[in-house]
């Protein structure tokens, strides 16, 4: 996906559900995120994580957003920016 495309709002295995998609990956839930902020974060993922769709998963819940990372370095960079 190029940076000019609209970011995918949810990206995980719908058949497995969020909890069973890539268990064991580094996971963070950000509370009280608006849909706009969620989109902003997903855009940031595409701009800052190499192989975004291969190495990260994300979901928008009613009042929060969840993110999973294959690599600890990406998880740390994300938490430093968004936590």
Q: To 5 degrees, how large is the angle CA 2–CA 22–CA 14?
A: 70
Q: Give domain status of residue 76, yes or no.
A: yes
Q: Give domain status of residue 67, yes or no.
A: yes
Q: Give domain status of residue 77, yes or no.
A: yes
Q: What is the pLDDT of residue 19?
A: 96
* Domain region containing 42: 26-51+58-82
Q: Give domain status of residue 64, yes or no.
A: yes
pLDDT tens, residue by residue, 12-67 = 999 999 999 999 999 999 999 999 999 999 999 999 999 999 999 999 999 999 99
Q: What is the pLDDT of residue 7?
A: 60
Of the two residues 66 and 3, the one the predictor is more confident about is 66
- Name the domain count of the chain: 1
Contact indicator for 70, 25 with CB cutoff of 8 Å: yes
């Amino acid at each position: 996906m190029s940076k000019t495309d609209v970011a995918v709002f949810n990206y995980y295995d719908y058949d497995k559900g969020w909890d069973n998609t890539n268990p064991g990956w580094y996971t963070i839930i950000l509370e009280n995120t608006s849909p706009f902020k969620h989109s902003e974060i997903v855009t940031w993922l595409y701009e800052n994580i190499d192989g975004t769709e291969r190495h990260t998963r994300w979901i928008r819940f009613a009042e929060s957003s969840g993110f999973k990372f294959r690599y600890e370095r990406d998880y740390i960079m994300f938490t430093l920016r968004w936590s």
